Copies of this chain bind each other. A is one copy, B any other.
Amino acid sequence: MFVILVYDTAVERNPKVLKTCRKYLHWTQRSVFQGELSTAQYRALTAALNAVIDPTHDSIVTYRTRSPDLVETATLGIDLGGPGDIL
C-alpha cells in the first residue's frame, strides 16, 4: 500500500515520532512522511506510534491507497523531500 502520514504532536514527543516514522517512511515535508508499506509494516508503524503519542493530545492521520499509481502528486514551490518525483 501507499501511505501518506501527517502528524500534529507535542514538541516533546516529536523526536520519537520522527524516529519511528523514519524507520518506515520517507520524509516529505515538515510533519509529513510517505512511502510504500506492506500491511504488516503499516501495523508495526501504527503500533509503534501508538506507544509513543499521548492519544489525548497528539494526532496522527494516515491516508492509504492500494498503490502509489492511484495518487497524483504535485509540488508548488520547492521540493523539500528530495529530487524530482519521489513516487
Contacts and interface: CB of A to CB of B under 8 A. Distances in A.
B60 A76 contact: yes
A31 B31 contact: yes
Contacts of A58: 76-78
A20 to B, nearest CB: 11
Given A8-B80, A65-B65, A60 B31 contact: no
Nearest to A56: B78
Interface string A32-73: 100000000000001001100111111111111110001111
User: Is the interface on chain A under 10, 10 to 19, 20 to 34, or 35 or more residues?
Assistant: 35 or more
B63 A75 contact: no
A72 B63 contact: yes
Nearest to A73: B63
Contacts of A71: 63-65
